[in-house]
Structure 1
Amino acid sequence: MALRAPVWAMARRDGNRGQGMDKRQAAPDGPDSAARAMALLEAGDRDGALALLHAALSARPACRDADVLHGMACVARAAGRPDLAIGLAGKAVALLPAAHFHITLGCALREQGHVEEARAALAVAVLREPRDARAHAALAGALGELGRWAEAEASLRAARALCPGDMAPLLADRGQPAGAEALYRQIVRLLPDDGAAWANHGAALFALNRHEDARVALEHAAALAPGVAETQNNLGLVLMALGHLPQARTALERARILAPGDARIAVNAATILDELAEGDAAEALYRAVLRDPILAREAEGARAQFNLGTLLLARGAYAEGWRHLEARSRLLPPMRGQGVAEWDGASLPRGRVLLYAEQGLGDAIQFLRYLPDCLRRASVVLDVPHSLHRLLQTMPDPDGQIATRCTVLPPGDPLPDDVVARCGLISLPHRLGMTDIPPFAPYLLPAPAPDLGERPRVGLCWAGNPSFRFDRRRSIPAHRLAPLADVPGLFFVSLQYGPAAAAPPFALERSAEGDMLDTARIVAGLDLVITVDTAIAHLAGAMGRPVWLLNRFGGDWRWSATFDRAEPPRWGDRGSRWYPSLEQFRQHQPDDPDTAWAAPIEAVHAALLRWRVGFATGPLADKSA
């Protein structure tokens, strides 16, 4: 689960963010509603902003309220829907051609890929209000993306002249990541001694997963302006992503000293403490954020609550941990069935529950083990990624519940009319009141692919999804696994997917590409799987196949010691109660990333030598559990 990602902040000199108003207050009409909604949106309370705007629209006809329409356009942009924002901002402009309406329209057009149209809208904004530095800065962004750098620089100079103290707040709208990075590179050239310019360039580089470059930019920003909390915060996040945990802690501690009331920074500081196995201190910070009734309702409160949930689960406080994990619904994008009531876990005499996957394939596979318990209480419409659909057909169904009480929703199909409740897969332990892991039996059972030889077959997966900003900590540079090729008599098969598959650590058989059933058939024919923390670990574990997990220090909550098996492992550090056939090879301290994987890989190499010797005496697939 990738939600325990800290909060990135654009660098600013103005310190703490303002707190949002209580969304239970009565919403006034028109411009006042829009102004209060914008304050909520700035504070991270998108739902509160939307509630105010909806209330205003119900009180006044939308055709007469340009400010409210513009506010809804801003909310749409914040929700990642520039297509909706374009229509709403366009209606606002038609009613009242204000410069800031044109800015929102131009930014939404740019985000949707209509860069020339965006330039035109932003040029109108500049003409209508030539003293608005935001209009000049936004226009510079569009011009830069069009490659019109001389004009972009002129617009930046105009914005700088209008706002000589600090341009950073004007440049928070970054548009497309690659174009934003190029623009910020130009800003740094224009303002080489401006710490905020360097800090925002670092933010754009981090958005492109150019972590080393981001670190250089942010360290330079911190040298130019050492007293800026947001720069230290962002530097801490980059260092965390790179695996430099002690240095990340130092930067985030500096940020907290500079801005002790900033909840974003407090949550980030708690996250690094949790990663460094300082759970008591992390818990204290999370609970301090949640004690503030306003912060608890905002995005920072949701992150604090979710992260607290993962910490409690890692400690074995399952009931409270599952309950706090529910806060993820406030952080994730909208899922299917938004207008349907949440299922409380009670038996349903009529109607069905929409049971949906929320995040990665690994999470979906892990929590499918709760499906039989769910079906004892309700019939289900299951909405999971299409790549899992054929694999689901291999689930054992001794009492016929899956066949009679579970329907898999085809891609693109509308929600059936008889769906009366909804529930995320990860919510099942909480909704079902299950405070411990149910007994394990393999629950994905594909027939194996044909065996291609007599040598032991070992599958290898060394990297996760590179689009996840903190993937560098769980993935292993392929060349570091090269020593495994020295173990004689083994046949290695690549289970790697994505860009990393193109650069294997040594010669591997490339497994067939396809959906998860095709991958599962390959896994079913292997004698052992060695993987980092990806969906492959969950797939092999759910199938009951022997799997060795190379796991980072301070890894995901589900691999924490509280979920270890009591029985001593055969090969690694500990087995897992999630998957009895899985053993971990853990990093035991927060080493420098250049050396952090050395000990676990050496341990895997030694275990493989012993495993290979033992293989001659009988099939080890039956011994690894």
Structure 2
Amino acid sequence: MKARVDKLLRKALAYHESGRVDQAEPLYSAVLEHDPNNADAWHLLSRISLQRGDWKAAAARVLQAIRMRPSIPAFHTSLGEILTAQGRPWEASLCYREALRLAPGHIPALVNLGNALQSQGQYRDACVAYWRAIQAQPDCAEAFSNLGNALRAEGRHDEALACYLEAFRLRPDQPEVAVNLAAAHLQLGHNTEAEEWARRALRSRPGLVQGLSNLSVALLNQQRPAEAEQAAREALAGAPSAAHLHSNLGSVLLQQKRFDEAEIACRRALKLQPGYPEATVNLGVALQFQDRLEEAAQEFAGVLRTRPAFAEAWTNLGTVRQSQGRNAEAAICFDEALARNPVHAKSHFCRSLSWLLAGRLAEGFAEYEWRWKVLSEMPRAWSRPRWDGSPLGGRRILLYAEQGLGDTVQFARYVPLVAARGGHVVVECQEAAAPLVRSVEGVAEVISQEAPLPEFEVQAALMSLPGIFGTSLDTIPARVPYMTVQPALVDGVRARLGEGSRLRAGLVWAGNREHANDRKRSIPIETLAPLQQIPGVEWYSLQAGEKAPAEIERAGRWMRGVLPEPCRVEDLAAAMSCLDLVISVDTMPAHLAGALGRAVWTLLPWAPDWRWLEDREDSPWYPTMRLFRQPRPGDWDGVAARVCGEVRELSIKASRSGTDEHE
């Protein structure tokens, strides 16, 4: 009889191990018909029930095995796995500990105990369990991989990466390990490596959902949103009920500025998993960019009630408060974020903008250096040491533009200070800005951003110079003009304009439509239409771009065109030099007029960019500039009415004095 039972059990086990559970199950039952007290058969039937998700039957069967042979550690481990599958990790850990009491080196119990502890947030204790498993079995790839997961959860990403690499060395055929390697590289900011590991996992197992998810994130971080969206949607096709995949798709859509679609994706994630923090934060961002600011704030605040240590949510709540013009509250949010995560780069960067807006320039520009941690790519100039402000002694220094044309114009003012430290100053900037940058005192050479880098010893970003020089509100280098335009270009514009006795004013009503904040800083041309009713003023369009003529035509042609097509920055500068007044929204021409020392009025949204500070009508950056702020969010009509009144007064003064020179 025993021989027959053993033969049946071996045959059933062979079927089971080959995945043919439907053939194994009746054989296990046959064993129990002959030997009802066969603990191994009860245990193996329990494993089949667990595979099928029948936890009640699985538990009943393994408990039978334990009653018959309570000293077998594998039985207690299986009971722990059943409890884990039911979402009862604390009870499961008791089972694993009992297995380890019986056999301290039992690998499955050690690994599963680590998993149970990790699911309860006890990452350090989990690491101990995995390490014990590795000591008992140094080639246990699963223990190395799971140890990597626990270390990653603790923020020990370099150590996690080392564990994953060892797991991959032991089991290169396991795509899950490649997935973990991709995730570790993502958290270290190694997006290219993350993409490579995700693709390796997918080559091993096409359609692997987590591989596609990691690939999507890696591509998104490399500013490849179309490819990222394709990977995100493929992942969703494989697991449509996975909340995190809907949230990931929301992130992809956010980067593509498809905010309404992002909102839908995030709400789907939250329907599947109510309260899911990452999806809630993404939803808040989608609402924020639809200007539904208070709704966005409520989403972020809701996350923080249940997860107060979530630095990203604190930071996003801060950016909402900034958009609402509540900068002091925003600063508190960024401080809260950094109290929870002192190295959270986005929080540092946002706090720098808050400090700069508040006029705390020395602190703000020092904190502004955190922007480099936010960028996905480092400037090519970083091949040489960063200049610290020390005497240059004739060394060649490369100063480079890193952001928009307006930033280049604004911070080129620091070149004379750098040259005064004894340096041969080479400026790398946008091709469009090069002619005017060449006119700045102290510039020895100008190269475009597309040109090969010249020889140089040290480097600095133009926007890092205020921090290097310790700039405060009282020490801003504000002597204007610090840029000049070729006299021949100015003479050409004057000839086209001809003689005139009326006030000549130029208008810029829109910025770069690709700018993240353009919807708030640009003004519909119709809003400025009342300006045409002011007597004694000739209006000129300083709006560059293909759409400008059509907009002027639609508005009734009350402005004259003065710019050639195509228009270069120096053409714009020449036109400004022939006008009495420039009125511009917050975009490059406002900076250019200020750098040229022209009278310029800058029209600002309710929550302006940091450089315009708070609650003042002048700018310490540009002595010839006046600021016109929205009296309430979105109120461009109020700005236009005030500008109309001021222009009318200016026109009256001009007609009385009989001169075209105005402050």
Normalised TM-score (structure 1) = 0.67
Distance 1:302 1:345 in 2: 24
Distance 2:549 2:158 in 1: 45
Contact 2:148 2:161 in 1 (8 A): yes
Map of 1:415 onto structure 2: 453
Contact 1:444 1:543 in 2 (8 A): yes
Amino acid at match of 2:622: Y
Say if 2:342 is the partner of 1:296. yes
Say if 2:381 is the partner of 1:310. no
Say if 2:534 is the partner of 1:487. yes
Map of 2:208 onto structure 1: 132
Contact 1:314 1:557 in 2 (8 A): yes
Amino acid at match of 1:339: S
Describe the superposition over 1:113-163 as per-residue Cα deviations: whole angstroms up to 9, x where unpaired: xxxxxxxxx6xx3xx426833457799x9xxxxxxxxxxxxxxxxxxxxxx
Give the gaps of 5 or more residues in structure 1. Answer: 1-13, 20-29, 61-65, 93-99, 104-121, 142-168, 565-573
Amino acid at match of 2:506: G
Describe the superposition over 1:444-477 as per-residue Cα deviations: whole angstroms up to 9, x where unpaired: 1213242314253332222222323332122223
Deviation at 1:70, TM superposition (A): 11
Describe the superposition over 1:294-336 as per-residue Cα deviations: whole angstroms up to 9, x where unpaired: x333xxx222222222222222322212211121122233112
Moved more, 508-517 or 370-379: 508-517
Say if 2:383 is the partner of 1:339. yes
Q: 1:174 to 1:559 in 2, by over 3 A?
A: closer
Distance 2:269 2:525 in 1: 33
Say if 2:414 is the partner of 1:370. yes
Match of residue 384, structure 1, among 414, 429, 437: 429
Map of 1:108 onto structure 2: none
Amino acid at match of 2:613: S
Match of residue 518, structure 2, among 444, 468, 471: 471
Say if 2:650 is the partner of 1:611. yes
Distance 1:473 1:504 in 2: 18
Amino acid at match of 2:354: L
SS in 2 for 1:341: coil
Residue identity (%): 30
Map of 1:623 onto structure 2: 662
Describe the superposition over 1:204-234 as per-residue Cα deviations: whole angstroms up to 9, x where unpaired: 4433324455456656766776523333322
Contact 2:312 2:337 in 1 (8 A): no
Alignment of 1:239-388 (within 5 A): 239-292=287-340, 295-297=341-343, 301-332=344-375, 333-379=377-423, 380-388=425-433
Contact 1:49 1:75 in 2 (8 A): no
Deviation at 1:586, TM superposition (A): 0.6
Return the structure number with greater relative CO, CA threshold 8 A, min gap 6: 1
Q: 1:310 to 1:427 in 2, by over 3 A?
A: same
Count of residue pairs brought into register by the alignment: 500
SS in 2 for 1:242: coil
Contact 1:369 1:443 in 2 (8 A): yes
Contact 1:527 1:620 in 2 (8 A): no
Amino acid at match of 2:610: W
Match of residue 592, structure 2, among 539, 548, 553: 539
Map of 2:568 onto structure 1: 515
Q: 1:36 to 1:612 in 2, by over 3 A?
A: farther
Deviation at 1:353, TM superposition (A): 1.8
Map of 2:53 onto structure 1: none
Contact 2:386 2:459 in 1 (8 A): yes
SS in 2 for 1:588: coil
Deviation at 1:279, TM superposition (A): 3.4
Amino acid at match of 1:524: S
Deviation at 1:197, TM superposition (A): 6.7
Say if 2:572 is the partner of 1:527. no
Distance 1:423 1:35 in 2: 43
Q: 1:238 to 1:77 in 2, by over 3 A?
A: same
Amino acid at match of 1:438: P
SS in 2 for 1:251: helix
Map of 2:116 onto structure 1: none
Map of 1:434 onto structure 2: 471
Give the root-mean-square deviation of aligned CA atoms: 4.7
Contact 2:397 2:458 in 1 (8 A): yes
Contact 1:306 1:328 in 2 (8 A): yes
Distance 2:147 2:661 in 1: 63
Q: 1:476 to 1:249 in 2, by over 3 A?
A: farther
Distance 2:624 2:645 in 1: 19
Map of 1:587 onto structure 2: 630
Contact 2:580 2:662 in 1 (8 A): no
Alignment of 1:173-192 (within 5 A): 177=225
Give the gaps of 5 or more residues in structure 2. Answer: 1-118, 125-138, 170-174
Contact 2:582 2:601 in 1 (8 A): yes
Deviation at 1:428, TM superposition (A): 1.2
SS in 2 for 1:529: strand
Deviation at 1:437, TM superposition (A): 1.3
Contact 2:213 2:231 in 1 (8 A): no
Map of 1:234 onto structure 2: 282
SS in 2 for 1:561: coil
Map of 1:425 onto structure 2: 462
More helix by share: 2
Contact 1:242 1:473 in 2 (8 A): no
Amino acid at match of 1:372: P
Contact 2:348 2:367 in 1 (8 A): yes
Amino acid at match of 1:245: L
Amino acid at match of 1:427: S
Map of 2:109 onto structure 1: none
SS in 1 for 2:606: coil
Q: 1:225 to 1:42 in 2, by over 3 A?
A: closer
Amino acid at match of 2:627: Q
Alignment of 1:30-69 (within 5 A): none
